[in-house]
Amino acid sequence: MSPSLFCMGNPLLDIQVTQGEKLLEKYDLKANDAVLASGKQLEIYDEIVKDYKVTYVAGGAAQNAARGAAYVLPPNSVVYAGCVGDDDRAKQLTEVNEKQGVQSVYDVRKGGETGACAVVITGHHRSLVTTLHAAEKFDIAHLSTPKVAALIDGAKFFYVGGFFLTHGTASTLELAKKSLAANKTFAINLSAPFIPQFFGDNLKQVLPYCDIVVGNETEAASWAAANNIADTDLSNIALAIANLPRAEGTQRPRTVVITHGDKATHLATTGAAEAKVYSVATLADEQIVDTNGAGDMFAGGFIGALVNGKSLDEAVEVGHRLGAMCVGQVGPQLKWPKETI
């Protein structure tokens, strides 16, 4: 049986440090943000490896979500594509995926370097500073290689990280169009405020194909601002995204789910009179290790549950459980041995 969920994104190795207040100041970073490193920020990797106690964990937003989905799905349900170098970082990512039930079908750049993300933790915030390296060299031709093409044909759900739109809009559209032609489900994550803000045109091309859109409060606000929507209510923004035009050939409703940390989760469906708001169980301070990857694990749990045939209400619940579990671990990790969700 072919895996039912096909994910695509930027495979990254996270290099995580705690108590990074000085790094935020030095590299001009916001406490809770995701950026592509530029200028002086490119020095952060050498500095943290030299001067801080770093933890290496498998990252890449869509890859985290793929592992999240695999956590709640039967074996051999999830496959993940992205571009890596032929280096130790790629080996580590492949091993983690394999252990956690995700089949990696990487586009491998000979002599290339796998991307990295410096994760700067301060309190409950996380600042992500990424250098994509090979990840942005993903070749659309990879999707037509016999092995990958067969996996795409066999999949029923697709999930692409919005982060991929900084370089991979053509590949995303190819997947999205295949999904539509075969009446499958296509999901995207808004990923970071800078995606709607600076890659809004790319996002606009892809959104008509999206049956599911996942994001958080800062991404929703950025999407609203970029689209001249003054309303800051997350339920209303979710509804606005849900009601954006669909691609020709589909009448399907779109589902938009916007998380807001431990405050609430908002879910809107095309044509609905109002969004549904779900409460989130608050974790005690001592249960929180860090928030890196929590949104991805929510997304993975949510999508995984839908692939499993669960209702939207149940899928939100599964997302909440995985998000909370991730917050209790270092970086984008879940509990092993596996807990029943």
* Interface residues toward ligand 26A, by CB under 6 A: 9-10, 12, 14, 34, 36, 59-61, 64, 117, 128, 130, 132, 161, 163, 166, 292-293, 295-296, 332
User: What is the phi/psi pair of residue 285, to 5°?
Assistant: -50, -40
Q: What is the DSSP string of 60-90?
A: -HHHHHHHHHHHHS-TT-EEEE-EEESSHHH
* Identity of the residue, 159 or 163, whose beta carbon is nearer to ligand 26A in the bound complex: 163
C-alpha 332/C-alpha 325 separation (Å) is 10
Residue 296 a catalytic site member: yes
In the complex, what is the shortest distance from the CB of residue 296 to ligand 26A, in angstroms, rounded to a whole number? 5
Minimal CB distance residue for ligand 26A: 59
* Identity of the residue, 180 or 326, whose beta carbon is nearer to ligand 26A in the bound complex: 326
In the complex, what is the shortest distance from the CB of residue 122 to ligand 26A, in angstroms, rounded to a whole number? 15
Q: Which two tokens stand for residue 307?
A: 């692939």
* Identity of the residue, 9 or 215, whose beta carbon is nearer to ligand 26A in the bound complex: 9
C-alpha distances in Å from residue 53, one per residue of 19, 90, 262, 268? 10, 22, 29, 42
* Identity of the residue, 293 or 301, whose beta carbon is nearer to ligand 26A in the bound complex: 293
In the complex, what is the shortest distance from the CB of residue 136 to ligand 26A, in angstroms, rounded to a whole number? 8
* Identity of the residue, 239 or 327, whose beta carbon is nearer to ligand 26A in the bound complex: 327
C-alpha 316/C-alpha 173 separation (Å) is 27
In the complex, what is the shortest distance from the CB of residue 64 to ligand 26A, in angstroms, rounded to a whole number? 5
C-alpha distances in Å from residue 5, one per residue of 90, 160, 262, 302? 21, 11, 27, 12
Which of 14, 107, 211, 296 is flagged as catalytic?
Answer: 296
Q: What is the DSSP string of 85-121?
A: ESSHHHHHHHHHHHHTTEEE--EEETT---EEEEEEE
In the complex, what is the shortest distance from the CB of residue 29 to ligand 26A, in angstroms, rounded to a whole number? 12
> What residues are annotated to the active site?
296
